[in-house]
């Protein structure tokens, strides 16, 4: 049984399916000594190389793992930055097989819930618009917002890359005289800077943006910024079920050791502080 090359690479934890399609187009993948092209299918016995390195197909049988990370503002959603700026990968735990893949992205000025997985197919499905995985954000805006504006944003407005809309907009209770107002908004897709661009289309400026939910997963309230926690088996399988993937049967997480108790949070905060100090020393002036 043959499978699409990009799917095999994603299942092996090399990256998301979309990312693998780009790598194939860039000529970074070969099959049996020949540079691969989009549309290629592979059999189990085929030899796949990534940047000249032989792919270990055993990776496909790895345990599906998912991390929840509380991203601070100022971090990039890339593996490396030529300017030496901090990235979301700097704090993640080492992984033996495959690598961590981001489930979507948050821009440098956005904080909150960011998921990582070693399962490329899970990452691809969670990001793909056809699965309509709901993202929820808390957003603080500067400017006058009335009911007519909220109706327009729910109905849909024209952006540079097509029509977009919020599924829901819920104002938070607050001081009516404040120039900054908080809203909870939801989307069923993750286009680049979509939340900000939607508000900007109404001449309203976003002054703070926090992702609070991805699907049914809510950012854990006690998880400090810059901290991560690995999801337990039931949480992983809830994600997998939401995008019609078979349940995982194993987990490396020991439930009692994974709780965000006072001791673990204190240890996490110390580690984050130490990392920030070290990163600041390494950053060129």
pLDDT digits (tens, 9 = 90+) for 202-218: 999 999 999 999 999 99
Which has more pLDDT, 266 or 166? 166
> Is the pLDDT confidence value at 77 over 70?
yes
pLDDT score at 18: 85
Q: pLDDT by residue (tens digit) across 171-203?
A: 987 666 667 899 999 999 888 899 999 999 999
DSSP class per residue in 188-238: SS--TTHHHHHHHTTT-EEEEEEEEEETTEE--TT--TT-EEEPPHHHHHH
Q: pLDDT by residue (tens digit) across 134-172?
A: 999 999 999 889 999 999 999 999 999 899 999 999 998
> Is the pLDDT confidence value at 60 over 60?
no
pLDDT score at 44: 84
pLDDT score at 227: 94
Q: Where are the alpha helices (DSSP H) in 71-230?
A: 120-127, 147-155, 194-200
What is the overall mean pLDDT for the chain?
Answer: 88
Q: Is 252 left (phi over 0), alpha (psi -120 to 50) or beta?
A: alpha
pLDDT score at 247: 94
pLDDT score at 180: 84
Q: Which of 107, 144, 161, 234 is catalytic?
A: 107
Query: What's the number of CA atoms in the CB half-sphere (13 Å) around residue 278?
Result: 8
All domains in the chain, ordered by first residue? 3-61 (3.10.290.10), 66-129+217-282 (3.30.2350.10), 134-214 (3.30.2350.10)
Active-site residue 176, yes or no? no
Indicate the pLDDT class of residue 258, thresholds 50, 70 and 90: low
């Amino acid at each position: 049984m043959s499978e699409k090359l990009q799917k095999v690479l994603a299942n092996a934890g090399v990256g998301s399916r979309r990312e693998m399609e780009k790598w194939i187009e860039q000529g970074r993948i070969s099959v049996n000594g020949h540079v691969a092209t989009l549309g290629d299918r592979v059999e189990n016995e085929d030899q796949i190389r990534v940047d000249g390195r032989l792919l270990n197909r055993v990776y496909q049988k790895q345990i599906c793992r998912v991390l929840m990370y509380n991203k601070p503002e100022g971090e990039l959603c890339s593996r490396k930055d030529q300017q030496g700026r901090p990235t979301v990968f700097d704090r993640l735990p080492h992984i033996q097989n495959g690598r961590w893949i981001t489930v979507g992205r948050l821009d440098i000025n956005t904080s909150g819930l960011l998921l990582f997985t070693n399962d490329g197919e899970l990452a691809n499905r969670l990001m793909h618009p056809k699965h309509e995985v709901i993202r929820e954000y808390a957003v603080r805006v500067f400017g006058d917002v009335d009911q007519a504006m909220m109706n327009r944003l729910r109905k849909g407005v024209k952006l540079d890359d097509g029509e977009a809309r919020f599924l829901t907009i819920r104002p938070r209770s607050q001081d009516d005289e404040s120039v900054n107002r908080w809203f909870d908004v939801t989307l069923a897709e993750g286009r680049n800077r979509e939340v900000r661009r939607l508000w900007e289309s109404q001449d309203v400026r976003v002054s703070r943006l926090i992702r609070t939910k991805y699907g049914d997963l809510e950012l854990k309230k006690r998880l400090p910024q810059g901290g991560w926690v690995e999801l337990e088996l039931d949480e992983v399988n809830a994600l997998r079920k939401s995008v019609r993937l078979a349940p995982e049967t194993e987990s490396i997480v020991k439930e009692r050791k994974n709780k965000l108790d006072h001791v673990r949070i204190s240890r996490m905060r110390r580690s984050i502080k130490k990392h920030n100090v070290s990163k600041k020393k390494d950053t060129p002036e």
